[in-house]
Structure formats: structure tokens, C-alpha cells
Amino acid sequence: MNRSLVLALGLMLANVALAGDRSVTYEDAVAAALQHAPDVVQANLAKESARHAVLTANGAFDPTLQLDSRFDRALSLQRFSQFPDPFRLTSDGWSAGLNVSEVAPTGTSVQFDTRFRSSNATINIPDPNSTLAALFTDGSVQKSFEPSFQLSLGQELLRGVLMSYNLQGVRRAKEGLTIAQLQAEGARQQAVADTATAYWTWVQVVRTAEIAQRAVEVAEESFRIGAARVDAGEAAPIERTRLEAAVVQAKSDAIAAGQAAEQAADALLRVMGESPDTQITPGSEPGDAPPLTLDPEQVVRSALEGSVELSVQRAMVDSARRGLGDARHAVLPSLRADVTGGLTGFDKDAWSGAFTLNESMFPNIGVGGTLTVPLGFRASLGAQRSAEVEVAQQEALLSDAIVGVRIAVAQQLRVLTAAATRIELADVQVRLAKQTLASEDAMHEAGRSLLQDVLEARAAVDTAEAAAVRARTDFRIATVELQRLQGTLDK
């Protein structure tokens, strides 16, 4: 296979890469990336998990209902101390209870307990001639019916008296949700910025490849005209060699540009979550840069207020400070006051007789307190010291992040300003290069310029046009990155 055939085959493959079947706009690329970006998917799942964690934490204060029941039967041989003869005792009993308890965020615990017990005791006298037979009838049954109702209240008076301390689990879950939401937003904005870089880089190399393809067409036409002039004796044979070399170089450049376009398309398709063998063409143009009226100080202030990274770190600092408050409160000992009150009844005949107040049912009340003091306080003091260190660490990270955002914004402003300036300069270079090419063509036709000068002027036009496209795409990428730093990047 000769060299010309190899170059032609490579050029054909490059053209196939550029001739996509589907037009993809910048908005299309961003929408697809937000659906498939792994970081966005994971951040959204983490946000959903954090939302469930808040529900779980609030569930710690839900009341608890407990129902229980029990039946027992016991057979035994017993005797009274003053009677030597034994007797058999059969005891049947059942009980059922209901308990409702709750711990409030105020450190107050409430418990209501009601229970019903019933028992039957059957006495069997083995010896009818015994002393017991004269006192008890064989097979006699002793019944008892015992209802009870108890209400218990407990209140923490030292550690645990603050609602903020008792609600720390809920608060931390909500803080986790807030951070997860901020991180999800940060992942979304980063995905948009990554897509912008991939998309506009792809547009730039595709347009460069198109310029390279036009250069091939121009070089081939110049070769055709030049060869005809050589054949007519109007130009030296060296002209044919130079023009053919220009065609070879143009085709080589077009192949390299086509390969770069394929690689950029694959990178974009990966970001979009699509198959790399999908044929696509750009549906959006970078356009011209609008006039820049940015106030650097205002941009920095906007970034310090809206940066997702700083918002996350500020939330971490706030969480650490509140955790320190909890740790300081936890140093206190526990002092708990308890009050109980209720009614307990008894009847030996039926349930109906066990509920008569002051006859078969009597009130009871109790008051108590419990003081728990850990000797040494090492655990709580250690937790407090750790919380203090955590606050210092998070504050240091916040300070460092603020400096980092300031530097990044300043750098991005310089990049954006330089890109806007390069657009203006590139447009001027394109205009001047085209004027130079026109002059060189005219002079060459008149025999007052070398073909080498014409070829160099033509290459200068291609270079200037490619630089103009690159300046515009760089401006779009820089604009998106600055918006990301400010936390204002929508799409």
C-alpha cells in the first residue's frame, strides 16, 4: 500500500468520525451527565440515606406500647408449721398487662402500667382423719383478683435537663442531612463543570479538524492548479514538489485532528454515560464573549458566601461547636427524681369487687431520687477535650478553605480575562492572516512572490482560525468554572 493510499484511508476515517449521526447540544450533554455521573448518583443516594437517618433519630422519642400475658400452674406438697399433716396445693394463675412508656426531649420519662392478675389455689387433704381435714374442706378453692394501675414520672435535674442535649441525636442527623444536601449540590455543580470542559474541548477539536479538512481541500486545489502551470511551462518543476508536499502535510494534520476529535467525543460520551461508538456532532457553538464587567472584590465576596465547599465546611464547624456544648453538659452528674402513684385492688370472689375505692382498691404513692456520679470523670472530660480538638480542626480547615477559594477565584478571574482578550486578538489575527494570504496569492499570481510565502500565509490563516475557536471555548469553560466557585452554577 503506497503512502498516498495510506493517507487517503486515514483521512477517510477521520471524516467518518466527524460525520456524526446525532447533534448534541451543550444542554443535552449536561442533562445526560447529571443522570449518569457516578459522583452525582452516589451523592443523591447519600442524601436519601441521611433523610432516613433523621426519621430514625426522631423515632427515639416515639412512645412504646407493650402487651404481655402469662398463665402458670404449680403442684406442690406443703404443710403448716403448727400442723404436722401435709396437704396438696394446686395453684393456677394468669396475668395480663399493658405498658406505655415514653422519654421526652425535656429529659422527662413517663410510664403507665396496668396489670390484671387472677389466681386459684385448690387444697387437697390426703388424710381425711387429719387435723387439717377438720379445718379445710378437701378440694376447697381460694380465689384472688388483683388489678393494679401505676403511673411513673421521672425527670433529669442535671445531666439531661437540656433539650438541646437530649436532642443531639436528632440534631446530628439533621446536620448530616444538611451536609449531604450540600455535597449533592457540589457534586451536581462539579458534574456540570466537568461536562462543560469535556463538551467545549470536543467542540474545539472538532472545529479544528474541520479547519484541517478545509486545508486539505485547498491544498489539493492548489496542487491541481500548480501542476497545470508546471505542465504549461509557466512554473518551475519545484512548484509541483512543494505543492504536493503541502498536500501531504495537510492530510497528515487532518488525520491527527480527526483522531483528537474521536478521543474528545469518547471522553464526552463517557461523561454522558453513553456508548463510545455513538456518532455525535456538536449542536452548540461557543459564540463570542460578552463584555466583562466583573468586580473582583464582589466576585470574591460572592464566592465566599455561595461556595458549596465553604458551606459544607461551615456546617462542619457549626456541628463541632454544638458537639462541644453537648460534651460540656455531659460532664455533669446525673440526678434523677422519680414520682410514682397508682391504685392496687384485691377481691377473693370476683373482678367486680376488686375495683371499689377505699374498700378493695387502695392508692399508693412513692417519691425518690437517684444520683449517679462517675468517680474521676475521665470519660466525660476526655470526650470534652476531644470535642475541643474537633472544633479547632474544623475551624482550621475552614480557614484554609477560605484561602483556597480566594486564590482559586483570583486565578479563574485572570483565566477568564485572558480568554476574553485572546478572543479579540484571535479575531484580529484571523483578519490579518486572511489579508496577508490574499496579498500573497495576488503577488504570486503576478510572479512577485514565492510559493513558499503563499503556503506559509495559508497555514497562518488555519492557525489563527483554530486559535479563535480555542479562545472561545476556553472562555466558556472558564465562565462555568468561575460560576462553580461562586456556587451559582445551574447548567
What is the pLDDT at residue 17?
45
pLDDT band at 377 (very low <50, low <70, confident <90, very high): confident
What b-and-e string marks burial along 231-254, b requiring 16 or more CB atoms within 10 Å of the CB?
A: eeeebeeebbebbbebbbebbebb
Q: Are 299 and 355 in contact (CB under 8 A)?
A: no
Average pLDDT over residues 252-258: 92
Does the structure show a pLDDT above 70 at 239? yes
For 10-46, the pLDDT digits (tens) are: 444 444 444 446 899 999 999 999 999 999 999 999 9
Cross-strand pairs, 363: 343
**Number of residues that make up the chain:** 491
Max avg pLDDT among 116-125, 352-361, 394-403: 394-403
Which residues of 333-445 form beta strands (DSSP E)? Answer: 334-345, 361-372
Does the structure show a pLDDT above 60 at 491? no
What is the pLDDT at residue 1?
36
pLDDT band at 394 (very low <50, low <70, confident <90, very high): very high
As a whole number of angstroms, the distance between CA 13 and CA 37 comes to: 30
Q: Are 79 and 92 in contact (CB under 8 A)?
A: no
Does the structure show a pLDDT above 90 at 447? no
Give me the percent of the chain exceeding a pLDDT of 70. Answer: 93
Q: How far is CA 133 from CA 80, 121, 127, in A?
A: 13, 16, 7
Cell of 46: 447519600
Cell of 367: 417519691
Which residues make Cβ contacts (< 8 Å) with residue 295, sequence separation at least 6?
A: none
Does the structure show a pLDDT above 70 at 261? yes
Collapse the DSSP code of 284 into the 3-class scheme (helix H, G, I; strand E, B; otherwise coil) and give the result.
Answer: coil
Does the structure show a pLDDT above 80 at 360? yes
pTM across the whole model = 0.80
Cell of 381: 472530660
pLDDT band at 134 (very low <50, low <70, confident <90, very high): low
Average pLDDT over residues 168-188: 96
Does the structure show a pLDDT above 80 at 126? no
What is the pLDDT at residue 452?
66
Average pLDDT over residues 120-138: 75
As a whole number of angstroms, the distance between CA 268 and CA 194 comes to: 9
Average pLDDT over residues 450-472: 82
Residue type at 195? T
As a whole number of angstroms, the distance between CA 488 and CA 491 comes to: 9
What is the pLDDT at residue 20?
46
Does the structure show a pLDDT above 80 at 101? yes
What is the pLDDT at residue 93?
93
What is the pLDDT at residue 449?
63
One-character DSSP codes across 313-329: HHHHHHHHHHHHHHHHH
Q: What's the count of helices (H) and strands (E) in the chain, helices before strands?
A: 11, 8
Does the structure show a pLDDT above 60 at 462? yes
Which residues make Cβ contacts (< 8 Å) with residue 175, sequence separation at least 6?
A: 315, 318, 319, 322
Q: How many CB atoms lie within 10 A of CB 73?
A: 10
pLDDT band at 357 (very low <50, low <70, confident <90, very high): confident
pLDDT band at 49 (very low <50, low <70, confident <90, very high): very high
Average pLDDT over residues 101-114: 96
Does the structure show a pLDDT above 70 at 436? yes
Collapse the DSSP code of 76 into the 3-class scheme (helix H, G, I; strand E, B; otherwise coil) and give the result.
Answer: strand
Average pLDDT over residues 392-407: 97
Which helix (H) or strand (E) element contains residue 101? Answer: strand 87-103
Q: Are 436 and 457 in contact (CB under 8 A)?
A: yes
Average pLDDT over residues 213-227: 83
Q: Are 349 and 120 in contact (CB under 8 A)?
A: no
Stronger pLDDT, 140 or 362, i.e. the higher one: 362
Does the structure show a pLDDT above 80 at 444? no
As a whole number of angstroms, the distance between CA 177 and CA 164 comes to: 18
Average pLDDT over residues 189-202: 95
Average pLDDT over residues 304-326: 96
Does the structure show a pLDDT above 80 at 129? no
pLDDT band at 219 (very low <50, low <70, confident <90, very high): confident
pLDDT band at 451 (very low <50, low <70, confident <90, very high): low
How many Cα neighbours within 13 Å face the side chain of 270?
A: 10
Average pLDDT, whole number, for the chain? 88
- Looking up cell 382498691, which residue turns up? 361
Mean pLDDT lowest among 121-135, 270-284, 298-312, 419-433: 121-135
What is the pLDDT at residue 448?
67
CA nearest 198: which of 261, 255, 258? 261
